[in-house]
Amino acid sequence: MRLLILGTGGMANQHAARFKAIEGVSVVGGVDVVPERLAAFCTEHGIANHFASLEEALAWGEFDAVANVTPDSIHHPTTLQAIAAGKHVFCEKPLATDAVKAMEMTEAIERAGKVGMVNFTYRNSPALQKGRQMVLAGEIGAVRHVEASHLQSWLVGRHWGDWKSESKWLWRLSKKHGSNGALGDIGIHIVDFASYGSGLDVAHVFARLKTFNKAPGDRIGEYDLDANDSFTMNVDFTNGAIGTIQATRTAAGQMDQLRLRVYGETGSVEMIYDTGTSTLRACLGEDVHTATWRDLPFDPVETNYQRFVQAVRAGKTQEPSFRRAANIQKVLDKAIASDLSHADEALGT
């Protein structure tokens, strides 16, 4: 498989390294509007072909698939261009900045018969995959209650750099730069994590979004710091279970932790991803009567990168698909609507 990487910012390095490590995959080109960044990226990863635009790369055309690692608001137009040119697409999350655009992309790639997958990176957690299997197998009985959180702290700590002076972080705080804040950035991960891990779909959302004062006048240079920093959601699931889903960038002491607890009528399971480390715990059987939790083993799982390559070779999309990402985006859109209306919002069809 010949791969083009579109956008050569920070996350693109992960794409290049992961795809190049898969046998039979060649990263044959890079695209970026910033020449210096493009040149440095291609040199680092040994990529021969450099393009200043996607149009230029498509005119060349000597590739099978595109890894779209552009900013969120650019995913929609560039992915549609790639689909129109007959390319498979592996897109960074979110698929688009709203569900209407995400569904347009989904329908376009399905009509074209091409593989379209989205990089929900925390699907790579073996604890999540094993925990989901347990829930779907009925090991905790019917699900009754779900609690999920995604906690980061880069607004209060400098472990990933100084957000006040680095554009790669500042754009994430600014609506006019295409950010939907914590909801759009990490909310999409924890909603997918909670829904996928519990095996349930969200039916209703009641949400609160919060933006904190972080600089004089809520502005640094060209960046208006108006995107949300934290959110909470109360949700109903389609099976009648209820749950809470929350995320923040202000959780001091938590670098990057996703935690999901799924409580069933006969037991419970907890899935944790914490800055590269996965943990799976459960309270099952007789342990329910003593409230005893035990750590459980799990096996390694294939990554999204590996699944995408397999999907392209087989000509059949695997999960997480464009359609899955579009449906998760519907939940985020309803969360924004709920925050404005101060009311419960139904997902509908």
Domain with CATH 3.40.50.720 in the chain: 1-119
Check: CB of residue 261 under 8 Å from CB of residue 269. Answer: yes
Give which of 242, 184, 188, 209 is closest to 340, Cα–Cα. 209
* pLDDT confidence of residue 10: 84
Q: Please give the pLDDT value at position 292.
A: 98
Within the chain, which residue ranges are assigned CATH 3.30.360.10? 121-301+317-344
Task: Give pLDDT tens digits for 219-247.
Answer: 999 999 999 999 999 999 999 999 999 99
The pLDDT score that the predictor gives to residue 9 is 86
Three-class SS state of 274 = strand
What CATH number labels 121-301+317-344? 3.30.360.10
Cα distance between residue 165 and residue 239, in whole Å: 46
Q: What's the pLDDT at 167? A: 87
Residue 23 DSSP SS3: coil
- pLDDT for 168 equals 85
Predicted pLDDT at 348: 76
Q: How many C-beta neighbours within 10 Å does residue 296 have? A: 16
Q: Each residue of 254-298: pLDDT tens digit?
A: 999 999 999 999 999 999 999 999 999 999 999 999 999 999 999
Residue 349's pLDDT is: 52
For the domain made up of 1-119, the CATH class stated in words is: alpha beta
Which positions of the chain have pLDDT values less than 50? Answer: none
* Nearest in space to 259 (alpha carbons), one of 241, 249, 242, 246: 246
- Identify the bridge partners of residue 324 per DSSP, sorted by sequence position: none
Cα distance between residue 84 and residue 77, in whole Å: 11
pTM: 0.94
| Cα–Cα distance for residue pair 75/11, rounded to 1 Å | 14
Question: How far is it, in rounded angstroms, from Cα 85 to Cα 75?
Answer: 15
Instruction: Dig out the tokens for 110 from the structure.
Output: 């399905």
Cα–Cα distances in Å, from 230 out to 162, 212, 252?
Answer: 19, 9, 13
Q: Distance between CA atoms of 69 and 80, rounded to whole angstroms?
A: 14
Q: What is the pLDDT of residue 71?
A: 87
